[in-house]
């Protein structure tokens, strides 16, 4: 079972973060860098084949020219395509969700998809089209116990938006702490 650290947009305004948390509890864990008005921002085509990095970056440059950072780093595509590796029952830890003092656990139920994000007010949000389907789990305070502090220590080095924990010692540390929470 893979452990994934899935960071949502931490700078989000309170209502946006609340909407993303609501989405998580509806089984949709969302990631940014995916303008929903433009299907060419997705990672898979209609036949579920991976869109090549160069084509995705070209689409990003063409469609995001009004954003603060219209030039995507090659690393952005690499970060997002980690979502394609996720499989049923993988464990997700969503740091700073619903706020900076908590993290939320979830299990993957389905792999990657790309779809519109409807906010609390019924309007479409322009971003956060990348989705992993999940079964939401518990939310914990970082400092509620030695186990949650161990999880916080284990995830701290992973700063990208989507991180797969590959280091065996970190995996073991996080697995032990997660088992202790159950």
DSSP 30-58: EESS--TT-GGGSSB-TTSPBPPHHHHHH
Mean pLDDT, all residues of the chain: 86
The model's pTM:
0.88
Confidence class for position 57, pLDDT limits 50, 70, 90:
confident
Residue 32: predicted pLDDT: 81
Q: Residue range 59-68: average pLDDT?
A: 68
Residue 39 clears pLDDT 80, i.e. is over it: no
- As a whole number of angstroms, the distance between CA 67 and CA 70 comes to 5
3-state helix, strand, coil in the chain (%, to 5): 35, 25, 40
**Do residues 52 and 115 touch, judged by C-beta distance below 8 A?**
no
Q: Pick the range with the lowest mean pLDDT from 28-42, 55-69, 125-139.
A: 55-69
Confidence class for position 72, pLDDT limits 50, 70, 90:
low
- DSSP letter string, 118-161: E-TTSPEESS--EEEEEEEEEEEETTSSHHHHHHHHHHTT--SS
Count the alpha carbons within 13 Å of 150 in the hemisphere toward its beta carbon: 16
What's the pLDDT tens digit per position in 108-143?
999 998 887 777 788 777 778 899 999 999 999 999
Q: Residue range 25-45: average pLDDT?
A: 81
**Do residues 160 and 7 touch, judged by C-beta distance below 8 A?**
yes
Query: Which helix H or strand E contains 112, and what residues bound it?
Result: strand 102-114
Residue 5 clears pLDDT 90, i.e. is over it: yes
Rg over alpha carbons for the chain, rounded to the nearest Å, is: 16
- As a whole number of angstroms, the distance between CA 142 and CA 160 comes to 19
């Amino acid at each position: 079972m893979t452990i994934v650290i899935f960071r949502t947009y931490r700078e989000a305004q309170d209502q946006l973060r609340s909407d993303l948390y609501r989405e998580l509890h509806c089984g949709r864990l969302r990631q940014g860098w995916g303008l929903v008005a433009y299907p060419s921002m997705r990672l898979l085509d209609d036949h579920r084949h991976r869109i090549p990095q160069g084509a995705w970056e070209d689409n990003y440059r063409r469609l995001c020219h009004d954003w603060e950072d219209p030039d995507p780093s090659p690393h952005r595509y690499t970060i997002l395509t980690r979502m394609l590796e996720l499989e049923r029952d993988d464990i997700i830890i969503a740091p700073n969700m619903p706020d900076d003092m908590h993290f939320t656990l979830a299990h993957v139920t389905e792999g990657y998809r790309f779809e519109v994000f409807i906010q609390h007010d019924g309007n479409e949000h322009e971003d956060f089209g990348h989705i992993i389907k999940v079964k939401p789990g518990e939310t914990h305070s970082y400092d509620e116990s030695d186990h949650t502090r161990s999880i916080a220590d284990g995830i701290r080095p992973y700063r990208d938006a989507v991180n797969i924990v590959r280091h065996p010692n970190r995996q073991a540390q996080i697995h032990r702490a997660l088992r202790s929470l159950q």
